[in-house]
Amino acid sequence: MVLLPSWYSLNIKMLWAMQAKYPATVDLKTITREQIAEQNLPCRSVKAAVEDGLLPLIPGYRYMDREI
């Protein structure tokens, strides 16, 4: 069994990783929910974030495709 940090820690890690990966697109000081949806950013679901390399691979991630 793999123990992961809390959801809050993972969310913060994901957002910082996304900003590092997409510096021209993502600015955490100004990002909005609308921007995430309009630009189809990978932080919108666990599945998208794992597939983009922003979160570690976890069993069953393919089923976590609902909007966060």
| 3 state DSSP class of 38 | helix
Kindly report the pTM of this predicted structure. 0.83
Which two tokens mark 43? 């932080």
- pLDDT at 37 exceeding the cut of 70: yes
- pLDDT at 67 exceeding the cut of 70: yes
pLDDT of residue 44: 94
How many domains would you assign to the chain? Answer: 1
Q: Indicate whether 18 belongs to any domain.
A: no
Q: List helix spans (H) across the chain.
A: 7-21, 33-38, 46-51
Asked whether the beta carbons of 46 and 59 are under 8 A apart, the reply is no
Q: Indicate whether 2 belongs to any domain.
A: no
If you write DSSP's letter for every residue of 1-19 in order, what string do you get? Answer: ------HHHHHHHHHHHHH
pLDDT of residue 6: 86
Mean pLDDT of all residues in the chain?
91
pLDDT of residue 31: 93
Range of the domain at 36: 24-68
